[in-house]
């Protein structure tokens, strides 16, 4: 078991201290790239150009590569490409085979094991796609897939059928058609740009796309789903932030799974986005031996709040083919939620959801707090397990009677209404 996910007392370290260690902001450092100039290292173009994409590079940088990882990497490019930015690579603990960062980006041979209930399109996106690259599953919003490329590739990616184009999926979004569909559907008030990662586009290309969407009168709200602030914080330049702030209301969903991903570089990048007025939410995926641990998840949500990011969702890992080694159980997810609600700031408690397999959409799952309910009363359990009753009258209004000689108060805003039987 990885050091970050050891159970309480397993390494002699009390959970509070372990959480404090996890919550520290550290820099990713330079690692193997200590000779690279600051100018290059801080350039997002340099980071992309120098990504680790081959087994030979990995073997040179990671002498501890296991046989499972070697076999997985040999096969990776037929399923989902291998790519890791030098910045993110530096977060891997090379001495730890089960490092939670390593498990997310280094391919393993288990990716070739497929169960009969696993799918290549677990959220049924292709069947809800009226034009290529656009998913219209919910009534008032669409998912606008703008690219099939990412800065690095997550081994559990729900869209691995299309991202990186390793499987030959024919992904050719046509922006004219996608935008025309949105313009012709006045019910679409919310557009989520995703992919792939939209922040891989140049500022000019992204600005053009956002301007075209903003020109549609019924589009009230824009969102960008991106993992770039985590994989490539160098991309979050002041120029990008200045461009994005023209398009408010514009929200951004980022994707961090483990507190170690929140480095000083990431904190600064998220700070620049927040300073540009962009509300930030985080979407984590519950992953086995990555973040399926209460202490790790508490540290993650608390650290996100320190970065001005609202923990928004924890996703149960979709039933994507070849992901069983990374999937944690729903039971574990519920146990974690039980230890978040009431035990930490309400703003730090995300919604735990399962994307219903085959295209049913997100379904929230939660520990049971309502023990029983009838017409008159609801029996509740709080986070400490204590039981309470909330009593309602027949008309479902809180029941109380005014005494006969009650004097109606004179309030500055006028007549009082809603006082039980006198109303």
The residues annotated with a catalytic role in the active site are 137-138, 141, 150, 154, 157, 159, 318, 355, 362
Residue 287 binding ligand SF4, by CB under 6 A = no
Q: Which of 48, 50, 25, 22 is nearest to 36 (CA)?
A: 50
**CB nearer ligand SF4, residue 194 or residue 298:** 194
Nearest distance in Å: CB 145, ligand SF4: 9
Cα–Cα–Cα angle for 138, 123, 288, rounded to 5 degrees = 125
Q: Identify which range of 4-12, 131-139, 152-160, 328-336 contacts ligand SF4 by CB under 6 A.
A: 152-160
Q: Identify which range of 33-41, 155-163, 263-271, 396-404 contacts ligand SF4 by CB under 6 A.
A: 155-163
Q: Identify which range of 27-35, 148-156, 269-277, 291-299 contacts ligand SF4 by CB under 6 A.
A: 148-156
Residues 6+ apart with CB under 8 A from 92: 62, 99, 101, 102, 105, 106
Nearest distance in Å: CB 397, ligand SF4: 47
Q: Identify which range of 150-158, 201-209, 243-251, 314-322 contacts ligand SF4 by CB under 6 A.
A: 150-158
For residues 169 to 208, the per-residue mask of contacts with ligand SF4, x marking binding by CB under 6 A and - elsewhere, is ---------------------------xx-----------
Among 48, 163, 276, 320, binds ligand SF4 (CB under 6 A): 163
Give the DSSP letter string of 149-196: --SS--TT-TTTTTGGGTT-------HHHHHHHHHH-TT--EEEEESS
**CB nearer ligand SF4, residue 158 or residue 295:** 158
3-state secondary structure of 225: strand
Residue 150 binding ligand SF4, by CB under 6 A = yes
Residue 153 binding ligand SF4, by CB under 6 A = yes
Q: Identify which range of 7-15, 18-26, 90-98, 154-162 contacts ligand SF4 by CB under 6 A.
A: 154-162
Is the preceding omega at residue 56 within 30 degrees of 0, hence cis? no
**CB nearer ligand SF4, residue 231 or residue 352:** 231
Q: Which of 285, 280, 277 is nearest to 267 (CA)?
A: 280
- Structure-token match 């927040």, residue found: 274
Nearest distance in Å: CB 374, ligand SF4: 44
Residue 326 binding ligand SF4, by CB under 6 A = no
Residue 235 binding ligand SF4, by CB under 6 A = no
Residues 6+ apart with CB under 8 A from 184: none
Put the strands of the sheet holding 310-316 in their side by side order.
134-138, 141-145, 190-194, 221-225, 250-254, 280-286, 310-316, 351-356, 361-364
**CB nearer ligand SF4, residue 196 or residue 322:** 196
Nearest distance in Å: CB 197, ligand SF4: 6
**Residue 294, exposed/middle/buried by CB under 10 A (0-12, 13-18, 19+)?**
buried
Nearest distance in Å: CB 412, ligand SF4: 54
**CB nearer ligand SF4, residue 84 or residue 213:** 84
DSSP state of 106: S
Nearest-angstrom CA–CA distance, 337 and 334: 5
Nearest distance in Å: CB 171, ligand SF4: 12
- CB burial readout 40-57, b (16+ within 10 A) else e: ebebbebbbebbbbebeb
Residue 154 binding ligand SF4, by CB under 6 A = yes
**CB nearer ligand SF4, residue 150 or residue 309:** 150
> Could you tell me if 186 and 139 are in contact, meaning their C-beta atoms sit under 8 angstroms apart?
no
Category of 383 on φ-ψ map: left (φ > 0), alpha (ψ -120 to 50) or beta: alpha
**CB nearer ligand SF4, residue 157 or residue 262:** 157
Nearest distance in Å: CB 62, ligand SF4: 20
Residue 227 binding ligand SF4, by CB under 6 A = yes
Residue 119 binding ligand SF4, by CB under 6 A = no
Q: Identify which range of 6-14, 46-54, 151-159, 368-376 contacts ligand SF4 by CB under 6 A.
A: 151-159
**CB nearer ligand SF4, residue 298 or residue 355:** 355
Give residues in contact with ligand SF4 (CB under 6 A).
150, 153-154, 157, 159, 163, 196-197, 227
């Amino acid at each position: 078991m990885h050091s970050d996910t050891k159970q309480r007392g397993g390494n002699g370290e009390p959970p509070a201290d372990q959480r404090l260690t996890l919550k520290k902001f550290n820099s990713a450092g330079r690692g193997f790239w200590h000779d690279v100039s600051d100018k290059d290292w801080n350039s997002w173009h340099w980071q992309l150009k120098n990504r680790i994409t081959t087994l030979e590079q990995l073997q040179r940088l990671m002498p501890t590569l296991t046989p499972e990882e070697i076999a997985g990497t040999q096969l990776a490019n037929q399923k989902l490409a291998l790519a890791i930015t030098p910045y993110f690579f530096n977060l891997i603990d090379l001495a730890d085979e089960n490092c939670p960062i390593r498990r997310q980006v280094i391919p393993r041979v288990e990716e070739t094991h497929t169960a009969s209930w696993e799918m290549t399109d677990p959220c049924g996106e292709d069947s809800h796609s009226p034009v290529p690259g656009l998913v219209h599953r919910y009534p008032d919003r669409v998912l606008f897939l703008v690219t099939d490329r990412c800065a690095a590739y997550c081994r559990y990616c729900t869209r691995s059928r299309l991202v990186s184009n390793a499987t030959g999926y024919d992904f050719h979004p046509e922006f004219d058609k996608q935008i025309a569909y949105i313009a012709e559907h006045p019910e679409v008030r919310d557009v989520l740009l995703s992919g792939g990662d939209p922040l891989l586009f140049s500022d000019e290309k992204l600005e053009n796309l956002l301007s075209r969407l903003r020109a549609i009168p019924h589009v009230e709200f824009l969102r960008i789903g991106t993992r770039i602030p985590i994989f490539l914080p160098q991309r979050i330049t002041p120029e990008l932030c200045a461009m994005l702030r023209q398009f408010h209301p514009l929200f951004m969903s980022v994707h961090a799974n483990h507190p170690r991903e929140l480095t000083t570089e990431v904190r600064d990048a998220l700070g620049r986005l927040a300073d540009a007025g962009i509300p930030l939410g985080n979407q984590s995926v519950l992953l086995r031996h990555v973040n399926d641990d209460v202490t790790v998840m508490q540290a993650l949500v608390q650290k996100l709040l320190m970065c001005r990011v609202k923990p928004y969702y924890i996703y149960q890992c979709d039933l994507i083919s070849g992901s069983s080694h990374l999937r944690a159980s729903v039971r574990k997810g519920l146990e974690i939620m039980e230890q978040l609600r009431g035990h930490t700031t309400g703003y730090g408690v995300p919604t735990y959801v399962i994307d219903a397999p085959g295209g049913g959409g997100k379904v929230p799952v939660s520990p049971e707090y309502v023990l029983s309910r009838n017409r008159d009363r609801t029996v509740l359990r709080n986070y400490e397990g204590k039981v309470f009753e909330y009593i309602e009258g027949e008309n479902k209004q809180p029941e109380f009677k005014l005494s006969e000689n009650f004097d109606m108060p004179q309030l500055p805003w006028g007549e009082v209404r809603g006082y039980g039987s006198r109303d």
